[in-house]
Chains A and B, each alone.
Chain A
C-alpha cells in the first residue's frame, strides 16, 4: 500500500491558460462567423479550484432558428442531455435560441435535483436572451422573462420536465456525480448574456470556456456556397471540447 501511494502522481490543472507550443497551430487566429449568431463566456467558478478561467459559455442566434441535436446513447444520460432532448421534442426543433454550457461539473447522475438545476440554467438564459432579442414566436416566454427579471428569481414548474417556456438548450461537462453550484451559475448568467458578441475573440473565449482538461480550444470556421443561391456566401462555425472519456456513439 505504501509503495502504490508513492507511485501515485497527482494531476494539477494548469495554472495559466498557455497553449502547448506543439498545439498552437490548431488554434485559429481569425475566422469567418455566421451572421446572426452571438457567443459569450463568463466565470462562475463551477469547480471550486477554478478561480480564474471562464467556465460558462453561451452560443445564441439573434433570431429563433432551426436546430438538431445528437446525444450519447449511454443509459445514464446526464440531466442536461435529458432536458435538452425534451426541449427539442417539445418545440419540434423549431424556434430554438441557442445553448448554454458549463464546464467543471457534468451534472450527471444527479437525479431530479440535477434536472431541476439544468432547467433553471436553461430557463434563466432563455428568459434573458428573450429580453435581449424578443422573439415573435415566443411571446409567452417574453412575458415570463419580464416577470422573472422583476422578481429576481426563476420559478421551476412542479413537473420537473415542463419545458414549454424554454427554447434554449443546456449542456454540461466535467465531474460526474456532483450537483451543479446552481446559485453561482445563475448569478453569472446575466454577465454571460451581457458578454455576447460576434468577433473572433468572442468565439475563441467561448470555445475555451467549455474546455475541461483540454489543452487548447477547438474552434473552426469556414465559408461555402450552395447551388440554388448564386452570389451568396454562407458561413459555418463550430466549437467542440473533449480530451478524456471519449468514445462517442451519438444518435
Chain B
C-alpha cells in the first residue's frame, strides 16, 4: 500500500489544491510500480494552511495573480478565467517535482528490490499509448527477474511491448530498445528498427551491475509520433516472495 501526506504553509485555495494534487499525482505516484498490484488503501493527502503568508490572498484555480483579482462585487471577464497565473504554474512545478521524488523513494524501497529502473517510452502515437507500453514492460515479471539476475534479456522487453493491451501503434520494424547507463556513458543499443544489435555482453553486464538503469524504447521513426511516458519500477527478487509468502500469518 502507498500512503502519502504532504503539507505546505503556502496559501492555496481548496479548488486549486485539488487540481494541483490530481495533476502531480498523475505524473508521480501513478507512474510507479513495484509488483503491479493496486492496493485497497492507496491514499495521498495534501494540506495547505497558509501560515507562511497569513491573511493574504491565495493561489487560485482561476489562475489570477493577486493584482489581477477583481474588486469585490465586480464580475470577471471570461477570458481572464482561462489565464494561468504565475503562482499556480510555479506551485504546480514545485509540487510535481516534490511528489516525483517521494514516489521514486518508494520504488527504491520496493520489497526485495536491488535496482531502480526507469522505463522511458518515446515516439508513440500519444502519451496514453506510451504509458500503456511503459507499464507493460515495468510490470513484466520476466523482465524484472532478468534485471535482478543481471541478464540483458531484451527479448523479454520486446515481448512485453508486443502484448501491451489495446495498443495498435506497435510497429516491430520501427522499434528500438537501448539501455542507458546510470554513469552517463554511451547508451547500449540492443535493438534498432527491429534489428537486433551485436551486444557487448561484458558492457551489458557492467551496466546491469549498477543500481540505477534506464530502459529506453523508441516506437516509431515518424515525426508526428510524439507520445512519451516514463514509469519507474524495480527488479523482482527471491526476497519479494519470502516477504509476501506469509505476510498475513
Chain A CB within 8 A of B141 CB: no
Chain A CB within 8 A of B34 CB: yes
Interface residues on chain B, size class: 35 or more
A-B contact pairs, 25 of them (CB 8 A): A11-B247, A26-B108, A36-B49, A61-B47, A63-B49, A66-B12, A68-B17, A70-B25, A72-B42, A73-B38, A74-B40, A93-B18, A94-B14, A106-B39, A171-B43, A213-B243, A227-B65, A229-B87, A236-B98, A237-B7, A242-B34, A243-B111, A245-B35, A247-B38, A248-B29
Given contacts A26-B105, A67-B17, A236-B94, contact A109 B40 (CB under 8 A): yes
Bound together, the chains give a CA A35 to CA B50 distance in angstroms of: 9
- Which positions in B face A, CB cutoff 8 Å? 1-10, 12-14, 17-18, 20-22, 25, 29-30, 32-53, 56-57, 59, 65-67, 85-87, 90-91, 94-95, 98-99, 101-103, 105-111, 139, 211, 238, 240-248
A236 and B247 contacting across the interface, CB-CB below 8 Å: no
A235 and B9 contacting across the interface, CB-CB below 8 Å: yes
Residues of B within 8 A of A175 (CB): 247-248
A212 and B1 contacting across the interface, CB-CB below 8 Å: yes
User: Which of A122-130, A189-197, A215-223 is the contact stretch?
Assistant: A215-223
Q: Which 6 A-B pairs have the closest CB atoms?
A: A36-B51, A246-B34, A65-B49, A238-B6, A34-B9, A72-B42
Bound together, the chains give a CA A92 to CA B18 distance in angstroms of: 11
Residues of B within 8 A of A101 (CB): 3, 5
B41 and A240 contacting across the interface, CB-CB below 8 Å: no
- Which positions in A face B, CB cutoff 8 Å? 8-11, 22-23, 26, 33-37, 59, 61-63, 65-74, 76-78, 80-81, 84, 92-94, 96, 98-99, 101, 106, 108-109, 169, 171-178, 210, 212-216, 218, 220, 222, 224-229, 232-251
> CB-nearest residue of chain B relative to A36?
B51
B35 and A226 contacting across the interface, CB-CB below 8 Å: no
Bound together, the chains give a CA A177 to CA B94 distance in angstroms of: 38
- What is the distance, in angstroms, from B30's C-beta to the closest C-beta of chain A? 6
Bound together, the chains give a CA A228 to CA B13 distance in angstroms of: 15
Bound together, the chains give a CA A244 to CA B3 distance in angstroms of: 12
B109 and A238 contacting across the interface, CB-CB below 8 Å: no
Residues of A within 8 A of B29 (CB): 70, 248, 250
Q: Which of B47, B101, B244 contacts A244 (CB 8 A)?
A: B244
